């Protein structure tokens, strides 16, 4: 009787380990997404800095800050798009659900809120940039997951 209980407990632990292993690639893709974001922004930061320095009469409310916001948000969403849909296509046998999207988003969320810390100050265009960019980065994979699910539900309703 005691052996049966131990076997049952072991089977439960084994099932949890297998379930965790199914979501491990999502975590790995999330860490790779963070690294790709950091590398891409370190590469493009020099170019954007030179552009902003070349603008005459640049100040914190210059219209060029809108270009900076658009540039950064576009890069973040593009990288998230590449990584999310690569995960879906390359690892099709692994789960593609809200938990996998959350696990893929979590490393970026950690970097954005605990290491970079958005200012949540909307008093100038530059301050809006330092607030909006981390917010988009910390939710980009979840937004893509939501849009993907929305499009899938629309397609199945049309069929």
Q: What is the pLDDT of residues 12-55, one digit of tens each?
A: 777 778 788 899 999 999 999 999 999 999 999 888 889 888 98
> What average pLDDT does range 55-62 have in this prediction?
89
Is residue 33 within 8 Å of 83, Cβ to Cβ? yes
Is residue 65 within 8 Å of 126, Cβ to Cβ? yes
Tell me what pLDDT residue 19 has.
81
Provide the whole-model pTM: 0.85
Tell me what pLDDT residue 2 has.
62
Residues 112-131 pLDDT 10s: 888 877 788 888 888 898 88
Residues 66-103 pLDDT 10s: 999 999 999 999 999 999 999 999 998 999 899 999 99
> What average pLDDT does range 5-18 have in this prediction?
72
Tell me what pLDDT residue 126 has.
87
Tell me what pLDDT residue 49 has.
87
Tell me what pLDDT residue 6 has.
60
CA nearest to 39, candidates 127, 111, 144: 111
**What is the Cα–Cα distance from 82 to 77, expressed in whole angstroms?**
9
**What is the Cα–Cα distance from 45 to 42, expressed in whole angstroms?**
5
**Quick one: pLDDT band at residue 157, thresholds 50, 70, 90?**
confident
Contacts of 48 (CB under 8 A, 6+ apart): 68, 71
Residue 3 has pLDDT above 80, yes or no: no
Q: Where are the domains of the chain?
A: 25-158
């Amino acid at each position: 009787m005691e052996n049966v209980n131990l076997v049952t407990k072991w089977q439960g632990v084994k099932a949890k380990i297998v379930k965790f292993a199914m979501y491990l690639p999502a975590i790995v893709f999330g860490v790779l997404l963070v690294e790709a974001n950091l590398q891409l922004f370190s590469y493009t930061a020099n170019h954007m800095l030179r552009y902003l320095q070349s603008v005459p009469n640049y100040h914190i409310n210059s219209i060029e800050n809108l270009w900076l916001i658009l540039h950064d948000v576009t890069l973040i969403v593009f990288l998230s798009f590449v990584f999310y849909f690569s995960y879906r296509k390359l690892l099709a046998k692994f789960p593609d659900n809200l938990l996998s999207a959350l696990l893929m988003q979590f490393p970026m969320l950690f970097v954005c809120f605990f290491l970079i810390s958005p200012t949540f100050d909307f008093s100038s265009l530059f301050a809006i940039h330092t607030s909006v960019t981390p917010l988009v980065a910390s939710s980009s994979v979840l937004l893509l997951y939501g849009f993907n699910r929305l499009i899938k539900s629309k397609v199945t309703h049309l069929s």
